[in-house]
């Protein structure tokens, strides 16, 4: 990426490494970037705002309520116009605030308002960097799509030697320059993804469900959104957080999912049904908790509506993709479902292995389409597999247009 003409918001937090942010500001400005510095009050104890103002040739922001231009709300204006948001140095405190949605100063308020890619360059004591809370917070931010610029190992200002030293300004700039522009090949497309398990109620304290974590569906929704799509995620109960740009619709039962998907189906361009939907539900449910009795218990089950088959029957212009989680003869069963349910493509994966299927962070998928393509996608993270699946879908849609 050429940084010339790019608007970069540089967030400087209160650590001794703030002095390196001065050189970073100067070098970014020399590259032709329009640099706007936002400092925490603690950062201003290490380096004066005047230094950054002289180096960036722009006003420096510290106080949320210090509105320098009456016609603009400063934190919203900066959040909107940023092409890149860079945090250098990022202290453990700043990382913790961002991971927990705390917006109590100018920097964190602007961060929560921006949709620009955020790059985080941590700098802290080696033991702080290894603390479980810091690791958890960084993992949360990574899951949300924030980019980390790893600190160096070496002599730290506190006297320790280890990992935690802010990466050098030249290296940070190189990382930004090597960043590829996001692929926007789904811009203008409406994509609906289903994810997670469903729950079929027995009584107020019990239900039937399955082992689906929702990770694959959420990864697909995130990948489609990053590529410019208008994404709706219809999700069963999970512990996952959808990206802010994705419209999430929460459901519980198979019938709930059917109703919500059908209500939006007509306007979609691509529908990917990655949810693990219950095939059966109890015929009878109870308003009060069932009490334990002697002997065995039998619960009569009835079929739920096959959502994927219903969508196949009603398909008009939509590109419809299903998922098949199998334990045996995966390709054979996948091909049968592809034809029987009038799908355009199906992603087949074998569950039960440690590195694929439910709960795992990785997956291995075989992508089959109606034209006979059989594309094996080897084991990668579910986020990587999601982009591979979208690549296959777009390739097929382009071929259909020819």
Transcribe 7-37 into DSSP letters.
EEEEEE-SSTTHHHHHHHHHHHHHTT-EEEE
Annotated binding-site residue? 68: no
Annotated binding-site residue? 289: yes
Annotated binding-site residue? 358: no
CA 367 distance to own-chain centroid: 22
What residues are labeled active site?
Answer: 158
CA dist., res. 325 & res. 359, Å (int): 13
Annotated binding-site residue? 34: no
CA angle 358, 363, 368 (to 5 degrees): 105
Q: What is the dihedral of CA 47, 48, 50, 53, to 10 degrees?
A: 40
Q: Given 3-state DSSP classes, what are the helix, strand and coil percentages for the chain, each rounded to the nearest 5?
A: 35, 25, 40
Q: What is the DSSP secondary structure assignment for residue 316, as one 8-state letter? A: S
Annotated binding-site residue? 63: no
Contacts of 86 (CB under 8 A, 6+ apart): 8, 9, 10, 11, 118, 119, 121, 172, 176
CA dist., res. 148 & res. 153, Å (int): 15
CA nearest 321: which of 350, 348, 298?
A: 348
Q: Which residues are annotated as a binding site for CTP?
A: 279, 289, 323, 337, 341
Q: Which residues are annotated as a binding site?
A: 279, 289, 323, 337, 341
């Amino acid at each position: 990426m050429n940084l010339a003409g790019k608007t970069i918001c540089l967030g400087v937090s209160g650590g001794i490494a703030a002095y390196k942010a001065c050189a970073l500001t100067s070098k970014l400005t020399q590259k032709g970037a329009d640099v706007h510095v936002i400092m925490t009050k603690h950062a201003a104890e290490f380096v004066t705002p005047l230094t950054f103002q002289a180096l960036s040739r722009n006003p420096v922001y510290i106080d949320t309520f210090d509105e320098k231009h009456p016609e603009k709300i400063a934190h919203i204006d900066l959040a909107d116009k940023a092409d890149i948001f860079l945090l250098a140095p990022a202290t453990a405190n700043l990382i913790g605030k961002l991971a927990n949605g705390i917006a109590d100063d100018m920097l964190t308020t602007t961060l929560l308002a921006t949709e620009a890619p955020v790059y985080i360059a941590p700098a802290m004591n080696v033991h702080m960097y290894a603390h479980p809370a810091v690791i958890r917070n960084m993992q949360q931010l990574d899951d949300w799509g924030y980019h980390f610029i790893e600190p160096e190992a070496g002599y730290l200002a506190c006297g320790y030697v280890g990992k935690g030293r802010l990466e050098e300004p030249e290296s940070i700039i190189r990382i930004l320059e090597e960043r590829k522009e996001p692929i926007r090949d789904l811009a203008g497309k409406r994509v609906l993804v289903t994810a997670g398990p469903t729950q079929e109620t027995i009584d107020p304290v019990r239900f039937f469900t399955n082992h689906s974590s929702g990770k694959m569906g959420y990864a697909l929704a995130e990948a489609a959104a990053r590529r410019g799509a208008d994404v709706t995620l219809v999700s069963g109960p999970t512990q996952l957080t959808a990206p802010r740009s994705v419209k999430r619709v929460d459901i519980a039962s198979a019938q709930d999912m059917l109703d919500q998907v059908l209500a939006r189906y007509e306007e979609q361009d691509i529908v990917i049904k990655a949810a693990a939907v219950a095939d059966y539900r109890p015929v009878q449910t109870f308003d009060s908790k069932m009490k334990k009795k002697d002997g065995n218990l039998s619960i009569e089950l009835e079929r739920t509506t096959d959502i994927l088959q219903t969508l196949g029957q009603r398909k008009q212009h939509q590109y419809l993709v299903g998922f098949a989680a199998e334990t045996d003869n995966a390709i054979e069963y996948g091909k049968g479902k592809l034809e029987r349910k009038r799908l355009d493509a199906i992603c087949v994966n074998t569950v039960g292995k440690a590195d694929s299927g439910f709960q795992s962070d990785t997956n291995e998928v075989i992508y089959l389409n109606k034209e006979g393509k059989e594309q094996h996608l080897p084991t990668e993270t579910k986020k990587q597999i999601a982009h591979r699946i979208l690549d296959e879908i777009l390739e097929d849609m382009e071929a259909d247009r020819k």
